[in-house]
Amino acid sequence: MIKTFRGKLADGGQVKIRLSTIRGEIGYNIIKFQLLPIDPISNNQESVIKIWTREQATVDGDIDFSNSELLAAAYMENDNSGSTPTYSEAAVIFDRIAINQDIFVTHHEQGADACNYYIELEPSKLSLDEAAVATLKDMRGTN
């Protein structure tokens, strides 16, 4: 059964999504990650929302794929300054990495607008060995 998470994050916001279990036998893969502005008709907006394996001390708009804690990143731009409003979204989702610990979602916006996010996770049963490996990778901060 697909698990879905949705919410609204203010600029600089961070939310924890609880996924961990006692033995870590359930793994999750990100299968969908989307953004939508709060007020798409009248606001100009540029947002970056990222999904992390660890809580972030600083929330910024930089996307660095060499950071092993970064699971996914999405950029959304909404421009209503011209006669024809435009909306674009570019999302990047990493390879199907099994996550069995909590994840953290952060939001950075060029102005100060909040942004909606929607995440779908597909659960899968992990063997004891797979659960141990996924948990150790999370503890070490490696993928």
Residue 79 CA to residue 2 CA, distance in Å, equals 33
Q: According to the model, what pLDDT value does residue 97 have?
A: 82
Q: Classify residue 124: in a domain, yes or no.
A: yes
- Tell me if 106 sits within 8 A of 50, measured CB to CB: yes
Tokens of 31: 């299968």
Task: Supply the range of the domain harboring residue 99.
Answer: 3-134
Domain CATH for 7: 2.60.120
In 10 A of CB 106, how many CB atoms? 22
Instruction: Give the tens place of pLDDT for each residue, 105-129.
Output: 999 998 788 999 999 999 999 887 8
Residue 107 CA to residue 51 CA, distance in Å, equals 9
Q: How many domains does the chain have?
A: 1
In 10 A of CB 18, how many CB atoms? 9
Instruction: Give the tens place of pLDDT for each residue, 14-59.
Output: 999 999 888 788 999 999 999 988 887 777 888 999 999 999 999 9
SS3 75: strand
Is pLDDT larger for residue 109 or for residue 93? 109
pLDDT band of residue 79 (cuts 50, 70, 90) is confident
Residue 78 CA to residue 41 CA, distance in Å, equals 9
Q: Classify residue 141: in a domain, yes or no.
A: no
Tokens of 71: 């699971």
